[in-house]
């Protein structure tokens, strides 16, 4: 069963209903166009219960692809089977069909302060990030994930050139 990579809430990709990826840290109520918690766009948060299954899946796939992009730039999952085994052993809920890079995010988000040797989990940090503590890295990942979601919103959802182009033709 797929899980929200931020809060481990399950959402089902089969014929069952997909649950919200909300993590209970919604910043859209304060006017943010992108939620700092779940990284969905404001209109996705507001309209989530009106969306069909395909719309929800599209949102979840976008969130996963952005997170994988951020994670793959900072670490390598060299042993997905070991990572999976460690997540199961530590009872960290994860979505088996998601990328192991999403699993790595869950592990770091949950255990940043307890993990001593990341390689024992099948993960190695890229050289440029090895001098950072895992809590620092977790926070940097979350910031970059938010900024990437925000950039995606600006580029594809609210591009001014599309609105300006329509207005100039009218």
* Structure confidence by residue, pLDDT tens digits, 14-24: 445 677 888 88
Cα 59 to Cα 62: distance, rounded to the nearest angstrom? 5
Is the pLDDT at 5 greater than 80, yes or no? no
Average pLDDT of span 159-167: 58
Q: What pLDDT, on the 0 to 100 scale, is given for residue 26?
A: 86
Q: What pLDDT, on the 0 to 100 scale, is given for residue 163?
A: 56
Average pLDDT of span 50-75: 96
Is the pLDDT at 1 greater than 50, yes or no? no
Average pLDDT of span 137-142: 96
Q: What pLDDT, on the 0 to 100 scale, is given for residue 95?
A: 85
Q: What pLDDT, on the 0 to 100 scale, is given for residue 23?
A: 80
* Structure confidence by residue, pLDDT tens digits, 93-119: 888 989 999 999 999 999 999 999 999
Q: What pLDDT, on the 0 to 100 scale, is given for residue 6?
A: 36
Q: What pLDDT, on the 0 to 100 scale, is given for residue 165?
A: 56
């Amino acid at each position: 069963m797929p899980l929200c990579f931020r809060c481990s809430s399950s959402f089902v990709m089969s014929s069952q209903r997909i649950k919200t990826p909300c993590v209970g840290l919604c910043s859209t109520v304060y006017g943010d166009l992108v939620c700092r918690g779940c990284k969905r766009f404001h209109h996705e948060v507001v309209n989530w219960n009106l969306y069909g299954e395909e719309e929800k899946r599209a949102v979840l796939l976008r969130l996963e692809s952005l997170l994988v992009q951020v994670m793959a730039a900072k670490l390598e999952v060299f042993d997905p089977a070991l990572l999976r085994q460690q997540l199961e052993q530590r009872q960290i809920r994860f979505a088996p069909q998601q990328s192991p890079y999403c699993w790595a995010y869950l592990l770091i988000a949950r255990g940043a302060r307890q993990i001593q040797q990341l390689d024992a989990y099948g993960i190695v940090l890229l050289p440029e990030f090895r001098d950072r503590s895992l809590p620092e890295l977790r926070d940097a990942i979350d910031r970059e994930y938010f900024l990437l979601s925000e950039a995606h919103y600006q580029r594809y959802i609210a591009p001014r050139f599309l609105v300006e182009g329509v207005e100039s033709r009218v």
